[in-house]
Structure 1
């Protein structure tokens, strides 16, 4: 099988990848047949899952604009996926061209495409890294070259923690990330959660992901709060992503109860 020009050498196209499946769901083209086939299985199991992808992307944009409105100019997007519509750097650099963004992902396709689209942008970078190894991410010289950790940084963990098992200790990961950040830094996240009347659909999606290298799990509002630990939640707290600072200038979105969103601040 010949690979497209954007695909890094050696990429495994025999198993679906969460970042590429998400790219397909958002209408992107950096995915392979195995990803598209898997995505169609997800859609068949839960027709509303495409809405989840789009509302999650809209949540990310609102979070970045909200943070920028509070003076944040440094963003570390871990588990960023494949850059597609509404990239973090596009949103924040439209507000301040000098704002700095680092994308981190474990998927080679996400990293290589990110590097390609950021060529010529001195204030943004994309690199490989594993959220389960936060110290390695923060110590990376490319992160240090872009971000001043003595000033506030917004860490974005959007639609990634539900791929991290309890055995890897999500609360500890967030503690380790924020321990090295300046007071006044933020953590923003979205996370898959169980909804009683969608139990069958959620169960089918979970079983499908169990056949891939990245199993997915739901967590409750209380479990998400535990992940954020001692960070200070900003209003309105941990809520469905469509309820987190909806944009009055945009058409109202149908409520998305299957994904929780929150932003929390490291105390000064």
Structure 2
């Protein structure tokens, strides 16, 4: 027998407005109860279910109706990684968005959509982006899984009046110059706003050689819903002065497949060895 007589969750309030139900509660991050999972930083899997009927209260006790097949999971961050700044900190700064506009999300379970963007012409001089924000369409929080933004090779040429946009696999050859260098990214569980160190910024516009970018958007539509339109993307806030250093990303990891980083069940510790040639670590090549 497992003793689960202790109650570690405490309801604070509940309300229903215009068909939306919200419940607020509190709990220790770590209750030291073997029946509770510690709430840690990063992505947590939340399980929830609901009935379409309100609870019936008899003699002060609520009878909750069975939820049927209305049970779901959601991967969400319950704690931030690094206390991201408030967006109000960047009020008044120039910014630009690389964003979809009412894209009709296919009813397929998995969709990778790619769009080429060009740095806005209104930035004729080099600027430094000092922060970026993942713009996730509020209506599609449940299906936008991640997005990656790639730099296109300086030699890449596109028709600025008709920039490529569509299913990534259908644009394979067109996007070949734009698949090797990651500029930034976001995934479920990540902070929406990321601020760069005070001494560095991401170069944009002017004489910076990168003029085109690709954003690869992954939609995880596990319920294969139709009639979804999406306007997610990425916003960049520009500082008023150039900073001392340009910032960039170095990507390390396994590319041989998902099984290469699969964690076996019941393992307390997993070590993955990766090898990087010395040439790739030379400062002149970063």
Classify the TM-score, shorter chain: under 0.3
Higher RCO structure (Cα 8 Å, ≥6 apart): 2
Instruction: Tell which structure's C-alpha radius of gyration is larger.
Output: 2
Q: Which has the higher strand share?
A: 2
Q: Which has the higher helix share?
A: 1
TM-score, normalised on structure 1?
0.25
